[in-house]
Chain A
């Protein structure tokens, strides 16, 4: 199958890109890395009238320091971010999440912003963004706004990005002292979409008890899901296997994953419990 015809624009400035988005809005889609969009075009799951290619807009691919953490341009290639020492040092959950995204060949072209804006329910980067309280910065021809990850993922592959907006950067706060993080997923084959995955981050207090914890699931709902109640229950507890097993159990009780050709809902729930436990254990700083 081949893509249906569309009008193609390759703006060479962000202003030009935003003007195109303002003009075409709902009739347009943004082409970033293309690793999700192009197969959708080929399979005709997407038939936009207009494709706006950001590939020639300068200034959207940087990775730099931000407020103890990092700011990642929306067009930064996943492979470049995966290899970034700055990201590994300040926000290692992003590095771990990226190792699970497809294969190197995909990550050579796929972008951080594109993956988050695409918001596939099993997307690792959306899960990491939620777990890390990332801030998503969107621009339009009339201004800029910052959207917290907690309010960004509205539903199945639907985000807060408006039809006249472009996601331009992802801001991720740095991990506190005495904290760790982990990303664990299960897929039928390495690089496949996750059946279920968990992102975890744990901060220990001076007394060795859990001061703060994040636990986010991917692949078990239409959006990445934060296990808020399990997080609350873990705060103040010792970071031991019993606490994590109980937290994982609690975290999956509210889940309602789909059944499909790849796995039943029950299997996804069991995998979610297992990856939550493992992620929490691995995220415990030594």
Chain B
């Protein structure tokens, strides 16, 4: 879990999202729709973006999980760019967008505007209208190079 070995007993029916928030006190991962359509709960499991509300916690036994509280080379430029360009308002959707963007920039360090929009099309934001988020990811990509 974010580079540190953690272990805990968990009921099989507890989702990864609830395990992160309730058992590990990692509340940066947010729950909105809780049925896989909004992307707010996005984390990385073995480097791949996943919707933590769509995994049972038991399924990540033995895996590497990275949340918004974690470390990744892409995270610092994203945090800086989001802060500078105000790529958020209430911030509720933000960790989900950031973790999705980490995967995007890892796979595609020079994404086009269209590629950014395609990559985040599974994340919903009710505040910003998305433009500032797209610009934030583009700026992070530029700086990350």
B residues in contact with A105, CB < 8 Å: 39, 42, 49-51, 100, 103, 122
Known pairs A6-B13, A105-B42, A108-B48; A38 contacts B36 (CB<8 A): yes
A residues in contact with B35, CB < 8 Å: 39, 42-43
Closest residue to A34 on the B side, CB-wise? B54
Closest Cβ of chain A to B17, distance in Å, is 10
A249 at the B interface (CB under 8 A) = no
Contact of B58 among A8, A39, A108, A191 (CB under 8 A): A8
Q: Are A4 and B122 in contact (CB under 8 A)?
A: no
A residues in contact with B51, CB < 8 Å: 35, 105-106, 109
Q: What is the size category of the interface that chain B forms with chain A?
A: 20 to 34
Contact of B121 among A35, A53, A189 (CB under 8 A): A189
Interface centre among A1, A31, A109 (most CB of B within 10 A): A109
Known pairs A2-B13, A38-B15, A41-B13; A104 contacts B36 (CB<8 A): no
Q: Are A55 and B59 in contact (CB under 8 A)?
A: yes
Interface string of A1-36 (1 = CB under 8 A from B): 111111110100000000000000000000100110
B residues in contact with A241, CB < 8 Å: none
B12 at the A interface (CB under 8 A) = yes
A residues in contact with B59, CB < 8 Å: 34, 53, 55
A residues in contact with B18, CB < 8 Å: 2
The answer for the CA separation of A61 and B58 in the assembled complex, in Å, is 20
Question: Number of A-B pairs whose CB atoms are under 8 Å?
Answer: 81
Q: Are A10 and B58 in contact (CB under 8 A)?
A: yes
Q: Are A5 and B13 in contact (CB under 8 A)?
A: yes
Q: Are B12 and A109 in contact (CB under 8 A)?
A: no
Closest Cβ of chain B to A77, distance in Å, is 9
B residues in contact with A106, CB < 8 Å: 36, 51, 54, 122
Contact of B54 among A35, A79, A191 (CB under 8 A): A35
Closest Cβ of chain A to B106, distance in Å, is 12
Closest residue to A55 on the B side, CB-wise? B59
Number of A residues whose C-beta is below 8 Å from B? 31
B residues 35-63 near A (Cβ < 8 Å) are: 35-36, 39, 42, 48-51, 53-56, 58-59
A51 at the B interface (CB under 8 A) = yes
A residues 92-123 near B (Cβ < 8 Å) are: 102-106, 108-109
Q: Are A35 and B36 in contact (CB under 8 A)?
A: yes
Q: Are A38 and B55 in contact (CB under 8 A)?
A: yes
Query: Can you pick out 28 interface pairs between chain A and chain B where the beta carbons lie within 8 Å of each other?
Result: A2-B13, A2-B15, A4-B13, A6-B12, A31-B56, A34-B56, A35-B36, A35-B54, A38-B15, A38-B36, A38-B55, A38-B56, A51-B12, A79-B48, A103-B121, A105-B39, A105-B49, A105-B51, A105-B103, A106-B54, A106-B122, A108-B48, A108-B49, A109-B51, A189-B121, A190-B118, A191-B121, A191-B122
B residues apposed to A, CB below 8 Å: 11-15, 18, 34-36, 39, 42, 48-51, 53-56, 58-59, 100, 103, 118-119, 121-122
**Minimum-distance CB pairs A-B, first 7:** A103-B122, A8-B12, A39-B35, A3-B13, A108-B48, A105-B49, A38-B54
A residues apposed to B, CB below 8 Å: 1-8, 10, 31, 34-35, 38-39, 41-43, 51, 53, 55, 79, 102-106, 108-109, 189-191
10 additional A-B residue pairs with CB within 8 Å, beyond A34-B56, A38-B15: A3-B13, A7-B12, A10-B58, A34-B54, A39-B36, A39-B53, A55-B59, A103-B39, A104-B49, A190-B121
